[in-house]
Amino acid sequence: MTETALHAHLAARGAVHRDDRGVVVPAHFGDPAAEYAALVHGMAIVDLGFRTLVAATGPDRVDFLQGMLTNDVGRLAPGSGCVALLLTIQGRVVADVRVAALDDELRLDVDTRVHDPFVDALSRLIIADDVELATPEPAMALVGVEGPGATALLGPEAATLDAFAHRELDVGGRRVRLVAGGELGARSFTLHVPVADVTCVWDALAAGGAVACGMEALEARRVELGVPRIGVDMDEKTLAIELPVEALISTTKGCYLGQEVVARGTSRGHTNRRLRALVLDGPLPPAGAALVADDKEVGRLTTVVHAFGLGHPAALGLVRREHWEPGTTLAVAGASTTTARVADWPLA
């Protein structure tokens, strides 16, 4: 298991940690409901040590990644950014990527658990291109800043940034890069912080009134908003067209890896299954449980949470088209008294 750069610092400040697919992250800081309230109504800070950065450098970096990623990185000027996917040639999801264009690099923010497949997939396709993929120096840690109070906490620079744009600023006397985008969408924020400075930056944000928030609250809000997570709701078995990821895919750029499958599915307006929101009634089932209608499996749960905004369990799940209309009620296999009702986002 891997510990984040903030692990010991946050453990000393009340974090209750858990293993999240090989990365030890804060589950909560004692009161997940209060942490959720800070995410939605106030300002919250989150240890994003389950994500990492890859620096793409070299004169061909833009042209190379323009042909690999689903969004239009070729249009990015220094200081701007976008979100994208890396797909297989079959249109299935390898990684979600947050791209920040700097003067001499494209900085790629990916989940640490898909870092190696992501870099390996790109590296295999670097043939005549002058591109290098490496870890940025100095080493960076990522901190999320969420909630409607985040802009005031971060200062006037934050209010001027377009979605996924970025700039440098000082937090607690330390120089960081502020990116306008994060775990809960374009109006979240992510800080790229030198590892040596991350504890000081965290404490400065906390001193400014931000509430430390763990994964229980963050995952609940993510499900309520319908934001899929790589390795949980999407992976190399999942087609991009099965997901609510339209903002990550350009419909006007040229070819990219998996583009033919995406274009074909989009033009036909047809896919056999889709990621949907599900409101659960009954005992909390495990992620991966099958969804059943008329004794036939018609989907499966991917993320299962207690949705604080609903006061109720909820989930994300892949559901076949015959059963994905809002209001449809499905049984959950292995949980005889639990049902799942298809709903629209946002849930709360």
- Going along the chain from its start, the domains and CATH numbers come out as 1-270 (3.30.1360.120), 272-348 (2.40.30.110)
Task: Tell me how far CA of residue 328 lies from CA of 111, 193, 223, 346, in angstroms.
Answer: 33, 45, 18, 17
Q: What is the pLDDT of residue 45?
A: 98
**CA atoms within 13 Å, Cβ hemisphere of 331:** 11
Q: What is the pLDDT of residue 200?
A: 98
Global pTM value: 0.96
Task: Tell me how far CA of residue 126 lies from CA of 63, 65, 133, in angstroms.
Answer: 11, 10, 10
Q: Which amino acid belongs to residue 165? A: A
Instruction: Please report the sign of the dihedral spanned by the C-alpha atoms of residue 213, residue 109, residue 72, residue 82.
Output: positive
Q: What is the pLDDT of residue 254?
A: 86
Task: Tell me how far CA of residue 47 lies from CA of 16, 22, 63, in angstroms.
Answer: 12, 15, 33
Tokens (6 digits) for 234 = 């999407």
> What span, in angstroms and rounded, lies between the C-alpha atoms of 323 and 327?
9
Q: What is the pLDDT of residue 83?
A: 97
Given a cut of 70, the residues of the chain with pLDDT beneath it are: 267-269
Residue indicated by tokens 């409901």: 33
Burial 57-66 (b: 16+ CB within 10 A, else e): bbeebbebbb
